[in-house]
Amino acid sequence: MYKLAFILLTTAAFAQPPIDTARAKAAFDQARQLCTADNGKLWGHTLCGPMLFADRATFYAVGNQADASGRLHSESGVFVGTIPKQLNIANTATSWDSVIWSEVVWPLPDDARTRGILLIHESFHRLQVQQKLLMKNPGNDHLDTLRGRYLFRLELRAYHAALSAEGKTRSDAIREALTFRAARAKEFPGSAQNERDLETNEGLAEYTGYKVGGGDPKEPLESGDKRPSFVRSSAYITGPAMGFLLDAVVPDWHAKALANEPTDALLAKAVEFREPADLDAAVTVFAMHYGGEELLAQEKARDEETKRRQAEFRAKLVDGPVLRIPLEKMNISFDPNKLFPLDDLGTVYPEMRVTDNWGVLEVANGMALMSKNWDAVTVPAMNKVDGSSLQGPGYTLTLNKGYEVRVGPRKGELMVGKAAVH
């Protein structure tokens, strides 16, 4: 009898779904309370709408409404089921059966405020799609250079000072932040637009999360100053700061932002910023206000470590035996905080998930080189093949029927391509 009871209890434990429906419902309720309290006041449109929590390992999902194809069924006040595997599971807005969903990866943060910020951030991404706001996701490789990082971190510190001040002191700090930004734009031609594009995409979403979710915009400035990479995460730091500062100096800025006017341009107009005639001299003077000498020493030490890692990645992803995977019609999810630019070759991703016509590539604690123009991913050559599943250092590639691995044009290179028809 006791043995039978143990078996029943064990079976029940294993039968637990990957997403707890009660916790999911509580999170949906939290999102609804936040967006209902906003009631469209911030952007002129409601942030409430379809939301989906999804488990990456199983594709099990919980939604706050039913889907059009009937994959999700009603259970305990939510809708549960398994979503199609061609959908990439990421924190983003995703189109499924002609419906735009705010998709959030499970598990959610335990902290209520952090969770609320995330839920509203993803809700804004859905609004971006609906409003046809530009949603580019460029890399900012210059923010991984010594000089680029130095100027960016100075800008963050100036925003922090501005958020802690009022009146002329606040405006002066904003102008100093914009001076560091102007110097960066001058030293790295074309970088200003890339930064703006990411701020329009992720920066506005993160600002919305903090504004509606009750966050402190100084927090990302403080934690962000210590991030290992700013290449694709810069806007998560600057977005809340610039948005809250705009709220203070020109509260009616939101409609202009929805019309794709950059937030840094709006901020410059608000404080009547004029680029100094001698940018280098201005940077030298203003840097003294924000611990510039200490920052520069930190960045010089980091630059030495960066050169060491570049050599390692080149040896394993360029010079050594590799597997090259051309991209045809891909979807991608990744962690923006861990990227590493590799000169003009592209960007190294320690973690990513790519779906394409050829199948699925999953990288975890590994390395994958995304080409500069996003037409191919390169990983170290595989060391194990099991049917359609290929495994290498830190990755698994599952090929669809009709695709194969063949010898590439370069010595030591293999590549994925369509199987020959016999």
Q: Is the pLDDT of residue 11 over 80?
A: no
Q: For 334-364, how does the pLDDT look when each residue is reduced to its tens digit (9 = 90+)?
A: 888 888 989 889 999 999 999 999 999 999 9
Q: How far is the C-alpha of 185 from the C-alpha of 180, rounded, in Å? A: 9
| DSSP secondary structure of 141-182 | GGGGSHHHHHHHHHHHHHHHHHHT--HHHHHHHHHHHHHHHH
Q: For 166-201, how does the pLDDT look when each residue is reduced to its tens digit (9 = 90+)?
A: 999 999 999 999 999 999 999 999 999 999 999 999
Q: How far is the C-alpha of 340 from the C-alpha of 28, rounded, in Å? A: 35
Domain ranges across the chain: 19-128, 141-290, 321-418
- Residue 422: its pLDDT value, please? 61
pTM over 0.75: yes
What percent helix, strand, coil does the chain show, rounded to 5? 45, 20, 35
Mean pLDDT of 302-326: 94
- Strands of 254-311, DSSP E: none
Mean pLDDT of 293-317: 95
Check residue 104 and give left, alpha or beta (phi > 0: left; psi -120 to 50: alpha): beta
User: Long-range contacts for 39-43 (Cβ within 8 Å, ≥24 apart)?
Assistant: 42/208, 42/211, 42/212, 42/254, 43/124, 43/127, 43/208, 43/254, 43/258
Collapsing DSSP states into helix, strand and coil, what is residue 271? coil
- Residue 15: its pLDDT value, please? 60
Q: Output 385 or 168, whichever has higher pLDDT.
A: 168
